[in-house]
Amino acid sequence: MEIFTQLGNVFVELFKASGIMSLSWENYVMIVISFMLMYLAIKKQYEPLLLLPIAFGMMLVNIFPGIMGNPETTYLTYDQMIAQNLDPESYIKTTLSDGSVVYNVTQNGGLFYYLYQGVHLGIFPPLIFLGIGAMTDFGPLIANPKSFILGAAAQIGIFITFIGAILIGFQTKEAGSIAIIGGADGPTAIFVTSKLSPELLGPIAVAAYSYMALVPIIQPPIMRLLTTKKERSIVMGQLRPVSKLEKIIFPIVVVVLVAILLPDAAPLVGMLMLGNLFKESGVVDRIAKTAQNELMNIVTIFLGVTVGATASGTLFLTPKTLGIIALGLAAFCLGTACGVLFGKIMCWATKGKINPLIGSAGVSAVPMAARISQKVGQEENPANFLLMHAMGPNVAGVIGSAVAAGVLISVLK
Amino acid sequence: MENMQLALSLLLAGFLIVFTVLVTLIIIILIYGKIIQKAQKTVAVRREKKAIIRVEELQSQSPASDVPAGGKVFGDDPEQIPGEIIAVIAAAVDALYGEKPHRIRSVTRERKGRSSWGSAGVFQNTRPF
């Protein structure tokens, strides 16, 4: 009979320790949201490489918050150590001012706490940029450097959103972190937020990656609204071939210029261009391949799950998050609109040689935004191939958003 | 109010800095692009001129110079290289240098040693990090 009582007690204790008793309603809401994100990643294939680990990390942390738990140190007396079956010789001893001796018993943090240090210390975003650089062909940008204007124009949305965030009541550092969502560049958004307002990392990263995933839905209506049928039908001339030497010099020139003018942008731009130099130099093929594949994939996994794990229910489900999501969308739309409008100006200035649709690709989101320019252009003229032309502003947008990030960090930190 | 002033100054500063950096990059890329293109064009023209001069020299020396003095057309030991192989090699050379003046003077067998696959394996395993 006693066995049954003990068995009952075991089940009661297990039930008390289970998530059913310890989780709040916010955790359950976040678990449902994570399921929706997983659905979008798997079924709709919206940025699955990032959305899937983010959603899974979100789910895990809301089921088991301890996975993100900080390491803790408790101070025990000799008697307490013996009572807990701990060997005092194995722990660091501290003598207090009153002469008593305590032992420092350190409890390790959760798995994601340690992985998250790569985000918290700003290590992962530059490593992601290294991989992006090793995969990017800056040829279209070198062939048509005027694309840089479109990459810069699309960053205006960032600074306009900053004003909007201040008007709504966000603090300046928070506003800077929210505004960078308009750069449509996940690693940049994480990098800036980890420097300015790390407490907002969860909602900002989720908003940034969600909008990047929703580029095919958000951008086309804005592009159609701001352009005429005639403008969308413009066929652009073929780009000149770019020599290997030009491609090798490009990353060095960009790093020297950007790092001198804006040292805060140096980690992002530096790693981006280092990756590109690996690729273009052609002498470190193995390193270039590692940066493109293994390193990029490993960092993506760590970045994705830990960013998702910052979205625990109690921190995420606040009115602030709604503000971030709304402002992030505004930043993204403004960036797209500014890019297209500058595209129109360039179209007018070149007497119709530039299709304004490539301006929307200036918001980064490589290569999705360039693909959207191609798709919308082809709707009007099936024989029109804008992809390579749009890749110029697209990669310029990566550099532009890193420069904008440098401006935000240097002014607001 | 103070925040608003900061926001407006950041808007202007950000706009100016981003545009200044990127416009500077445009100028630098245009300049070095032009320099490299010009240099490469000059080198190409020089090579072409050299090649033409060489062809003219060869033609003036011996109009029927396809057959060397020794009477052998190809290789150290032409008997060991079948005509079809030589034809294929000639076609490959022509595909590679088709537009430039060229002539195949000899076809020789590569000295026997480690196979290409073996060399590739050694290279892969001994290349430093």
pLDDT digits (tens, 9 = 90+) for B3-60: 788 888 888 988 899 999 999 999 999 999 999 989 988 988 888 888 888 777 877 7
Do B74 and B15 lie in a common domain?
no
Q: Is residue B73 pLDDT above 60, yes or no?
A: no
Do B87 and B38 lie in a common domain?
no
Q: Is residue B68 pLDDT above 60, yes or no?
A: no
Q: Is residue A326 pLDDT above 70, yes or no?
A: yes
- DSSP-derived 3-state class of residue B15: helix
* Cross-chain residue pair B17–A403, CB shorter than 8 Å: yes
pLDDT in tens, A8-24: 888 888 777 776 677 88
Q: Are A402 and B21 in contact (CB under 8 A)?
A: no
What distance separates the 2 farthest-apart alpha carbons in chain B? Answer: 96
A159 inside 8 A of chain B by CB: yes
Model confidence at B69, in pLDDT bands (50, 70, 90)? very low
- What mean pLDDT comes out for the span A312-320? 87
pLDDT at A165: 93
Do B46 and B99 lie in a common domain?
no
* Predicted TM-score of the model (pTM): 0.77
- What mean pLDDT comes out for the span A132-144? 92
Range of the domain at B44: 1-65
d(CA A356, CA A347): 6
Contacts of B24 in chain A (CB under 8 A): 257
Instruction: Supply the ipTM of this predicted assembly.
Output: 0.79
Do B79 and B48 lie in a common domain?
no
pLDDT in tens, A191-219: 999 999 988 988 898 888 888 878 888 99
Instruction: Kindly report which listed range (A309-318, B63-72, B104-113) carries the lowest average pLDDT score.
Output: B63-72
pLDDT at A44: 86
**Residue A335 burial (C-beta neighbours within 10 Å; 0-12, 13-18, 19+):** buried
d(CA A127, CA B128): 23
Q: Is residue B75 pLDDT above 70, yes or no?
A: no
Contacts of B42 in chain A (CB under 8 A): none
Asked whether residue B21 is domain-assigned, the answer is: yes
pLDDT in tens, A251-269: 999 999 999 988 989 999 9
Q: Are A75 and A94 in contact (CB under 8 A)?
A: yes
- What is the nearest CA distance from B82 to chain A, expressed in angstroms? 37
**Residue A373 burial (C-beta neighbours within 10 Å; 0-12, 13-18, 19+):** buried
Q: Is residue A63 pLDDT above 60, yes or no?
A: yes
* Cβ contacts of A312 within 8 Å, gap of 6 or more: A26, A27, A30, A61, A62, A65, A68, A202
Do B31 and B85 lie in a common domain?
no
Do B18 and B59 lie in a common domain?
yes
- DSSP-derived 3-state class of residue A73: strand
* Cross-chain residue pair A246–B18, CB shorter than 8 Å: no
Other C-beta atoms lying within 10 Å of the C-beta of residue A201: 22
d(CA A247, CA A137): 9
B31 inside 8 A of chain A by CB: no
Asked whether residue B123 is domain-assigned, the answer is: no
* Cross-chain residue pair A156–B3, CB shorter than 8 Å: no
d(CA A154, CA A177): 17
pLDDT at B83: 79
Q: Please give the interface size between A and B, counted as residue pairs whose CB atoms are below 8 Å apart.
A: 100
Count of alpha carbons within 13 angstroms of residue A169, beta-carbon side: 3
A396 inside 8 A of chain B by CB: yes
Give chain B's mean pLDDT.
76
Number of domains in chain B: 2
Do B1 and B61 lie in a common domain?
yes
Do B61 and B74 lie in a common domain?
no
With a pLDDT cut of 70, the percent of chain B lying above it is 74
- What is the nearest CA distance from B126 to chain A, expressed in angstroms? 13
pLDDT at A410: 92
* Cross-chain residue pair A404–B18, CB shorter than 8 Å: yes
Do B49 and B3 lie in a common domain?
yes
Asked whether residue B121 is domain-assigned, the answer is: no
Token output for A6: 């003990």
Do B43 and B16 lie in a common domain?
yes
Contacts of A262 in chain B (CB under 8 A): 17, 21
